[in-house]
Amino acid sequence: MIELAPNHKYGLPIAVPVMPASGTFGYGEAYHDLVDLSLLGAIVTNPVSLRPRRAAHGQRIGVRADHFVVHTGWPSPGLHRVIREAGPVWRRLPVPVIVHLLAARPVDVGRAAAHLSGVRGVRGLELGLTEDLSFAEARDLLAAAAEEGDLPVIVKVPFSRVDDLAPRLAQAGADAITLMSPPRAVLPVAGGEAGGQVARFMRGRLYGVALFPLLLNALSRWAGKLGVPVIACGGIASPEDALACLTLGAAVVQIDALLWRVPWLLNSVARALVQSQPQPDTEQDDVSADQGAMEANL
């Protein structure tokens, strides 16, 4: 069993160190026909805001080779509708639910945390921070979630702010840190009629295997040094990638938007990591039991 919130009064134990990243798995059953949910450690929901948010206009995804940019605007039907529609699903799921909250204002985060604390099946929160937040603003969001609710609070730190925010938010009371939210990038998405000229660019968040070396760099700098568990997220595309993250000190891995192409990656990673864990020495256990029985008969 892996404890994701060892400093929290209730804790957040999970059985397997694998879960989907926010934005890739809906609210719990998006891939129920492709993924064995019982093999996962937890499910992280799509981003949820207190009030409804509209999706971004125009093109939302641009693909180039093995990487792509996504610009959705983080749409959300609003917390109350999510609870009403997804709550029955969360109660039936065989694993804990971690709700990813869009962290905007402390008052909104506090209200959302208070509402979610009473929802059956929800065992934790993950705060999604934007790159432009100061440490003081991020600290206030964390404090609001922790003080207004009873759930463990994980903070997902933006790629560009890892060195600045991760150690300070861990010290400020985050129960765990997710490294990391994807960086912003620009991708050419349309060519000109002649001469190979680029006609249009798309700006969004970058996903793909190119993120994996950047994730390993962040883990090598901070995993095991923050005083709280670290969750690895970014470009993990195989069981070997996941194992590398755990070797560098991550407690858990999240599989991100690569799931859109290969949803069964979750189960293959989960099975591989379970098989790689040391198994109990049953022969030694049998010997110890026999010795105990002999001593009892003496």
Residues in the chain: 298
Find out whether 23 and 46 touch, Cβ atoms under 8 Å: yes
Q: Six-digit token pair at 19?
A: 């879960």
pLDDT of residue 282: 47
| Cα distance between residue 108 and residue 101, in whole Å | 10
The strand pairing partners of 233, in sequence order, are: 254
pLDDT of residue 211: 95
pLDDT of residue 261: 86
| CA of residue 145 relative to chain centroid, distance | 17
pLDDT of residue 279: 57
Report which residue type is found at 222. W
pLDDT averaged over consecutive 10-residue blocks of the chain (298 residues)?
97 97 91 90 97 87 86 92 97 97 94 97 97 96 98 97 98 98 89 61 92 97 97 97 97 94 92 79 46 40
Q: Give, for 123, the enclosing helix (H) or strand (E).
A: strand 122-128
pLDDT of residue 204: 93
pLDDT of residue 102: 95
State the architecture of 2-57+72-184+208-297 in CATH terms. Answer: Alpha-Beta Barrel (3.20)
2 three-class SS: strand
The strand pairing partners of 231, in sequence order, are: 178, 252
Where exactly are the structural domains of the chain?
Answer: 2-57+72-184+208-297
Q: Give, for 215, the enclosing helix (H) or strand (E).
A: helix 211-222
Q: Which residue from 59, 79, 96, 95 is spatially nearest to 202, judged by alpha carbons?
A: 59
| Cα distance between residue 142 and residue 212, in whole Å | 27
pLDDT of residue 233: 98
Residue 266: DSSP 8-state: H
pLDDT of residue 285: 46
Q: Which residue from 22, 147, 15 is spatially nearest to 94, judged by alpha carbons?
A: 15
pLDDT of residue 195: 54
pLDDT of residue 200: 83
pLDDT in tens, 141-172: 999 999 999 999 999 999 999 999 999 999 99
∠ CA 19-21-27, nearest 5°, is 90
